[in-house]
Amino acid sequence: MAEKSLRLDPMVGDLQALTGVRFHFATFTSLFANTIGRATFMVFLLLGLRVLLRNQWLALAATASIFSAMIAVNSALPWFVFGIAFLMNGLMLFYLLRFGYLATVVVMTCNYFMGHFPPDLHWANWYASSSTLCILFLAFLTAYGFRVATAGQKTLADDFD
């Protein structure tokens, strides 16, 4: 009986984004479009299964199972990947139900960006520009979200006077 060897491939990300600034923006746009598409598909699948199964939590589990099976089907360790993906998809669906579509799109976008452009603060490396651009984008997104969320309210510095 031949012994099956397990080989886990690391997630590399999009290597074309390392070739120039225009590819950074193309990758950002592509990831953002994929995020919106996946979140929309997640909403419609969840709503369809909720109508079909007539139970919100059962529909959530079925939707998480479908997305997890799509991820785990091409893996070297399918049951392990299915379990982790089920947990992550279940949390994302719970987040969708609790906080809404826009918040879920933002969380998924940040997750995809950090997966495709892993942060590396060693700026002497030749590939540091892609991770730095991603960090700057996420910092801008965080600052903009904070500004919108606190519109017209006083800051902490004003409260101590």
Domain spans, the chain: 17-141
Residue 116 CB contacts under 8 Å (≥ 6 apart), including other chains: 13, 14, 17, 27, 31, 134
Residue pair 95/88 in contact (Cβ under 8 Å)? The answer is no
Which helix (H) or strand (E) segment is 74 a member of?
none
List per-residue pLDDT tens for the chain, 161 residues long.
555 555 655 656 556 666 666 777 787 788 889 999 999 999 999 999 999 999 999 999 999 999 999 989 988 888 999 999 999 999 999 999 999 998 899 889 888 887 777 777 677 776 666 677 778 888 898 888 888 888 867 766 655 55
